[in-house]
Structures are given as structure tokens and as C-alpha cells.
Structure 1
Amino acid sequence: MPVTALVSAKSCGVTASALALTLASRRPSLLAECDPAGGTIRAGYLQGQVTAGYGLYHLAAAERTSTDALANAFASHLWPMDGAGHRKLLAGLTDPAQAAALVRTWPALSEVLHVLADEAGYDVLIDAGRLALSSGRLHTTLSPAPLIHQADLVLLVVRGTEQSLTLARHVIDPLCSELEESGTGADALGLLLIEDGPYRAHQVAEALKTPVLAALPWDPDTANYLTSGGRPPRGVGRGPLLRHARTATEQFEAVASRRSIQQQYPPRPVSPHLAGVLRRLDEGRGGSRG
């Protein structure tokens, strides 16, 4: 299954989109909230259920101890988002000042995420937040650059508005260059269109010279629920956003599979330490924290 990183040029619904894709997937799924500007899901969608004792920041100290410690910490800091434990969250930072501590943790975390995708069949979504560039490159502290580099797909989330397209134009070329030089190739980049505004998918693809890999409908009630939590809209699971998100996850898998075949990626070796992640998750599946 693919590891998919979602990014934006400015706030365009990355978190709501990532949540929708995670909740709608037909397979076990994991959302890693890796925006260095801070996470919003624990205070929004989860309404404070997840305390600061869980989440991304705690992986930094574990990684400095050993790979084994990181694998164990990763498994123990996932939060179930459904009763069966098939939807998991690695909650994000509670303070943007914590981002600097993660600079050396990102590569190891990327390896863990790919183990889950490749060996356990998880759909892995990364909320990488707003792109931060410095001298035309991803900022090493303000962007989780290694996660973006190694993702099977990188989705630039855009809306069908003139403002959103204008902002996106400024980041596509440097992002393509970075993925070509340091990532899995410029063809990893695609667009996820939020259908808010007058421009349709073919117009957006033509304007930005980048393929639209999927589109999600403008569904403000569901988007607000995913962003802010509270009482879910009636029939949220059958609503347009989650229905289209389910289709989108299948589209992303197909694109990632084609890329893998075309590029003939060698299998990633799995270390015994990281294989322990799979055992821990299988043991914990179906349980929940009180």
C-alpha cells in the first residue's frame, strides 16, 4: 500500500482531507500528523481525548536511544480512531517549538511508515502541512522533508479557486526539483483537488501542469466535523466527502503501483527492530485506550 504525503501551499484543507482518506480507506489505515507547525486533530476531531502524553514528539527521545526504542515508542503512541482499531492516529506536535527536535527523527520515522505500508498493508497518510521553502528548497526544520522525499505519492492539496492556483504555482517547480534530486522522482507529485471554486479538474491540471490524481467534493458540514469535531452530521459515513475519499484511496494505490512497476523499486529491507512494530500493532488491534 502507498505512503502518501499531503501538503499545501497555504491552508487548503490538508488535515480534513487526510482524515477523510484515513477514515474512508477499505484497508487498515494510519494517519501520521507530521506538520511542524503543530497538530490540530487532538483538539479538533478528537475533542481533547488524546493528551500530550501521546504523539509524535515522544518519538524524538526514543530515536536517540535506539531503533528498537523508536519502534516500540511508535507502536505505543498510536491512538485508535475506531472501535476495531483499524484506523490509527499518530497525533502531532502540541507546540511548534518541538519541531527542531524531530529533524533527525524524520528519516527513521519514514522507514517505520514504509514498513507498515509494505509489510502490513496499511494505507499510510502523512499530514505534512504547509510547505515551507528556504532558497527554493524544503526548509529542514519547518517541513518534514525526509517524509516528503520518501513518500510514494506527494499530493499538493488545492482548491478550484484563482487564489489557490496562484499560490500553488509558486511551489510546484521547486517541489518537483526537490523530489527529482532527493526523492523518488518528480512524477511522485500530483494534485488532490477540493472542488471549491469555479475551476474543474481538467482546468486545474492544465493551469498547474500537474495531474489531478483525485478530487474531493466540497462538503462543508463533513469538513467542519473533521476539523472541529463535535456531533457528526447525519449520515456522515455515506456523505459525499467520505464516499469520494474511499474512491480516491483506490486511485492513489493504482498510481503508486504503476510508479513502482515502472521504476522497479527494489524491496525495502526490514530490520528486526522495525518488524517488531508489526507485531505490536497486530497484538493491539481491536483494543482501545480508555
Structure 2
Amino acid sequence: MSAKSCGVTTSALAMTLSSTRPSLLAECDPAGGTLRAGFFQSQITAGTGLYHLAVAERAGEDALAQAFASHLVGIDASSHRQVLPGLTDPAQAPALARTWPALAQVMRVLSDEGGYDVVIDAGRLALESGRLHSTLTPAPLLQGADLVLLVVRGTDQSLALARHMAEPLRNELTERGTGADALGVLLVEDGPRRAHEVSEALRLPVMAALPWEPDTAAYLAGTGRAPRGLKKSALLSSARTALGHLQAAASRRALHQQYPPTIPAPAVLPAPTGSRAPAPQAPVQQVAGVLQRLGQGRVEPRV
């Protein structure tokens, strides 16, 4: 996500395409998706995508799991890389308020049981009284994510906007998420500011960086043709490296949470502010329903 448009969707798509494992890009920006009209060049109709999951969820979690698989679109010949297209109209966003938690659980199943790299495009950050806006952000997805990346460019303007978002995000993840250490920066190297300057300005670690490569970015955004040597482009090569770093960071956090430092007995400590009850396990039907139906692309792959 970002404080303002900084290449969130393009970065997310680059990482999804660069994954060496099965991968899913979920376009969950409440302001509306751009992949349908951009990268997919309007090949996908409004009959496929995120909004229909809100309708299915009303019938129960099993129905949501089945609908989820049928609304994915393949973006490579093997269909190992898939996209869940976003909303076609921002007015649809309120209908998803009760769907986000169940959708977060389905994505957790894909990650933990299916071995997928799940990349969520959460769009532009919106706050309400210092907290994530309940309608204009997919808050439950961010709260349950292994990592939350604030996408910024290396410009003073981008940093000025992001600076005011960092602290509310830290607080949100501490109080309702997996912890403040899930939060980091994805730097798009467009501008004079380097990683150490960005980290100092935002008081956040730069977890990954992507080069500014207009030709490849334009292709991914649907505004340009595929450049020569696309798969070896600097952007996709760096995205593959960045994703590897992020996978390692997520694994380290998971191990730390599973095996926290031993507290010498008989000390008894109060529960930390951000502690949460364990997330409920997904029903067996969800696991089977999602994983068995994956792999069926809806359009001819573009890459």
C-alpha cells in the first residue's frame, strides 16, 4: 500500500510474475482495480473479480472458497501465477466490509497449505481517527499479513506523504495485527533519496527496492508494449530478488512468533498490547475447495 499512488499495483504485479513458486496477486484496493483495464487490456469482464466474493460470502465460508477459485485469472501459460481482479466501481467497497476477514483466511490457506506467494495490492492508505479506515482500506488483510510494505518513491514529496502514515500503521499492527515489526518500506528508486535516507525519514526498515524502469513499468501498467528481454529486465530481476528477501523476512518472523525467547520462571508477564487470540483454522472444505480448483486461467496469458 502507499500514502499516494507510487506504483503499488505495478510493484505487486512484478513480484507476482517473478515468483519462483505458485503466486497470487489479489487486487484489493477499495478505490477500484486497474489491472482489468490496464495489464489485461479489458479482456476480463465485470463478471469476474473481487466483488462477487462478497456475494458468495453471504452464503457461507465454503461458498466463498469455491467462488474464490473460480474468480482467479491465469497470467502465465502454466497458470501457476494468478490474479484476483479488483473492484470495477468504488461504490462496491462497503459490501466487502464483512468479507475481508473470511478472505484473509482463504489467503492464509493458500500461503500455509498451498505454498503460494500471496501478494495483496491494498491501494492507497486511508485513515479515520488515526486508524485504518474500515471501508476505504482492507484492514483485516493488513492486520493478518506476514509483512506490510509501504511503497514510496525516493522523492521528498513521496516521503513527506508517507511520513504521516508510518506511525498510525505501526500502532495499528501493534494493537490489532501481527506486530509492528511486520511493517517496512518497498522503495521504488525514482528520485534522489537512497534507502538509508528513506529509512531514517520514516523510521522504518527498507525491506526491498525496485529500480525505476519506465518501459517495463509501462507494459505492466498496460500503457506500453512488452520490451525486449522482458523476463530478464532489471525490474523483474530485482522483483525476484526482492521477493526472496521478503520470503526470508516473513519466515524469520514466523519462527520468532512460533518460538519466542524463553522467559525465565517464575516470572509472570502481562499479555503484550498487540497480543491476539490464535486465528481460527480454516475448515477442511476451504482448503480442498480452494486448492483443488486453482490452476484454471480465464484469459490467454500475456507473459
Task: Please report the TM-score for the alignment, with normalisation by the length of structure 1.
Answer: 0.94
- Three-state SS of the structure 2 residue aligned to 1:263 is helix
Aligned: 1:149 with 2:153: no
Q: Name the residue aligned to 2:282.
A: 270
Partner Cα separation in structure 1 for residue 235 and residue 147 of structure 2: 21
After the TM superposition, which of the residue ranges 272-281 and 174-183 deviates more from structure 2?
272-281
Deviating 4+ runs (over 4 angstroms): 265-268, 286-290
- Highest CA radius of gyration, 1 or 2? 2
Query: Cα 1:234–1:107, aligned 2, differ >3 Å: closer, same or farther?
Result: same
Q: Name the residue aligned to 2:87.
A: 93
Partner Cα separation in structure 2 for residue 64 and residue 273 of structure 1: 17
Query: Cα 1:140–1:246, aligned 2, differ >3 Å: closer, same or farther?
Result: same
Indicate conservation of the 8 Å contact 1:160/1:194, yes or no.
yes
Query: Cα 1:142–1:214, aligned 2, differ >3 Å: closer, same or farther?
Result: same
Q: Report Cα offsets for 1:141-173 as digits up to 9, x if no partner.
A: 000000011000000000110001111100000
1:218 to 208, 212, 223: 212
- Three-state SS of the structure 2 residue aligned to 1:65 is coil
Partner Cα separation in structure 1 for residue 63 and residue 158 of structure 2: 41
Task: Please report the TM-score for the alignment, with normalisation by the length of structure 2.
Answer: 0.90
Q: C-alpha root-mean-square deviation of aligned residues, in Å?
A: 1.4
Question: Residue type matched to 1:271 in 2?
Answer: P
Partner Cα separation in structure 2 for residue 277 and residue 103 of structure 1: 21
Question: Residue type matched to 2:185 in 1?
Answer: L
Indicate conservation of the 8 Å contact 1:25/1:246, yes or no.
yes
Question: Residue type matched to 2:134 in 1?
Answer: T
Count of residue correspondences:
281
Question: Residue type matched to 1:207 in 2?
Answer: A
Displacement of 1:178 after TM fit?
0.4
Question: Residue type matched to 1:182 in 2?
Answer: R
% identity of equivalent residues:
67
Q: Name the residue aligned to 1:4.
A: none
Unaligned segments of structure 1, at least 5 residues? 1-6
Q: Report Cα offsets for 1:88-140 as digits up to 9, x if no partner.
A: 00000000000000000000000000100000110000000000001101110
Displacement of 1:48 after TM fit?
0.7
Partner Cα separation in structure 2 for residue 82 and residue 49 of structure 1: 15
Indicate conservation of the 8 Å contact 2:46/2:88, yes or no.
yes
Counterparts of 1:105-116 in structure 2, within 5 Å, are 105-116=99-110
Indicate conservation of the 8 Å contact 1:85/1:288, yes or no.
no
Q: Name the residue aligned to 2:269.
A: none
Question: Residue type matched to 2:154 in 1?
Answer: G
Q: Name the residue aligned to 1:3.
A: none
Question: Residue type matched to 1:94 in 2?
Answer: T
Unaligned segments of structure 2, at least 5 residues? 260-277
Query: Cα 1:58–1:288, aligned 2, differ >3 Å: closer, same or farther?
Result: closer
Q: Report Cα offsets for 1:21-54 as digits up to 9, x if no partner.
A: 0001111100000000000001000101111000
Partner Cα separation in structure 2 for residue 173 and residue 143 of structure 1: 16
Indicate conservation of the 8 Å contact 2:72/2:297, yes or no.
no
Query: Cα 1:47–1:287, aligned 2, differ >3 Å: closer, same or farther?
Result: closer
Aligned: 1:233 with 2:227: yes
Indicate conservation of the 8 Å contact 2:207/2:246, yes or no.
yes
Partner Cα separation in structure 2 for residue 249 and residue 114 of structure 1: 18
Q: Name the residue aligned to 2:62.
A: 68
Counterparts of 1:30-109 in structure 2, within 5 Å, are 30-109=24-103
Displacement of 1:230 after TM fit?
4.7
Structure (1/2) with the larger helix percentage:
1
Partner Cα separation in structure 2 for residue 229 and residue 83 of structure 1: 22
Query: Cα 1:287–1:204, aligned 2, differ >3 Å: closer, same or farther?
Result: closer
- Three-state SS of the structure 1 residue aligned to 2:122 is strand
Question: Residue type matched to 1:280 in 2?
Answer: R
Displacement of 1:207 after TM fit?
1.5
Displacement of 1:229 after TM fit?
4.7
- Three-state SS of the structure 1 residue aligned to 2:192 is coil
Q: Name the residue aligned to 1:279.
A: 292
Displacement of 1:269 after TM fit?
2.6
Indicate conservation of the 8 Å contact 1:68/1:274, yes or no.
yes
